[in-house]
Amino acid sequence: MSHEPTDPRSPRSARRPWRAAARVLAAAGLAVNAYVHADLASRYDPVSAAIGQGSLFRIESALAALAAALVLFWRRSLGDVFAWFTAAGGLAALLVYRYVDVGAFGPLPDMYEPLWYAQKDIVVISQVLTVVAMTALLVDRGRERLLAWRSAPGQ
């Protein structure tokens, strides 16, 4: 750890405000996703196979809440990747089950639902915003590591 003062004009410190905004946006998207899935879970309890759709909604809600906490408080690559996969996976599942009648698949029930309604719109928007914000953070972190690696002595 360096004991030298940080130059306030450094490129890293200049990016802090947008990084903080991206983290807040991603965490808000994940929190909305968690809330909506928790709110809808009981409506989907009757749709079941080995695992009920209501249970899957509760799992999605818990994962999104955990991801929001990681994005805000842990701020590590692993947490950011977890948040990205939580949002992207939820969005992919929502779109697949909206447009494709997969039927029951293994322990999963038939979750085909070709309807759009307000909560689904809200979840899609929140997940897209989260994926965009987390992608920007992950790309920036990767770019920063690449630059640091290139400028390391002996490179």
What tens-digit pLDDT sequence spans the chain (155 residues)? Answer: 445 445 555 555 666 899 999 999 999 999 999 999 999 999 999 999 899 999 999 999 999 999 999 999 999 999 999 999 999 999 999 999 999 999 998 999 999 999 999 999 999 999 999 999 999 999 999 888 888 888 877 65
Closest C-alpha among 2, 5, 11, 102 to residue 53: 102
Cβ–Cβ under 8 Å, residues 122 and 36 = yes
What pLDDT does residue 4 have? 47
pTM across the whole model: 0.86
Two tokens, residue 85: 């996969």
Q: Find residue 48's DSSP bridge partners.
A: 52
Q: Are 4 and 39 in contact (CB under 8 A)?
A: no
What pLDDT does residue 14 have? Answer: 62
- At residue 153, the pLDDT reads 77
How are the residues of the chain apportioned to helix, strand and coil, as percentages rounded to the nearest 5?
Answer: 70, 5, 25
Residue 32 zone, left/alpha/beta (φ > 0; ψ -120 to 50; rest):
alpha
Would you state the pLDDT for residue 53?
Answer: 96
Q: What is the pLDDT of residue 99?
A: 97
